[in-house]
Amino acid sequence: MSVLVTLPEWVDSKDYFTREFKTDEEMMALAIELSEVNISEETGGPFGCAIYERNLETGKVTLIAVGVNRVTALGNSCLHGETVAIQMAQKKLNTFTLQIPENKLKKQYELFTSCEPCCMCLGATLWSGVARMVCAATKADACAIGFDEGPVFEASYDHLKKAGIDITRNLLRDDAAAVLKRYGETGLMY
């Protein structure tokens, strides 16, 4: 028996990996775009995530992996946008952690997610090796349309910070919350 994790076909038809990213807003805009396309293409829920590699010497940012919610499409409750992106990044880099010792002073990996993570995805973020997590919409925004994000508290974020993960929240929140609201209006919930 095996488990196969795939991205929707539309991901390959986009120019995501050829784009230049200079600002956090540009990086977050992609995560939000992924969430929006995922619902418009009916390939999953309204959550998108992008993982970037930042060269600490030059500041150059490169997109490494993307993820979207694949829960219903692949019949797997663990395939949230963040967990899919983490798995894709680790597969691409052939490593179980994005905190690669030989890169520590040269590169870091940053996770941009269209919504604050649920409890499962916060745990995955902790173990993933990312140095930074940036969130758009809030837990309250997701709960407002019927999602249960589980036991996520300020102490959860404090734990990530103590583990060395830099956290930024509410970046482009209104844009991401609007995608969630549109999804909520469809009545499609799992």
Residue 189 has pLDDT above 80, yes or no: no
pLDDT, one tens digit per residue, over 125-158 is 999 999 999 999 999 999 999 998 989 999 999 9
* Distance between start and end Cα atoms, the chain: 25
Find out whether 77 and 121 touch, Cβ atoms under 8 Å.
Answer: no
Q: What is the pTM of this model?
A: 0.96
Let me know: does 96 contact 157? Beta carbons within 8 Å: no
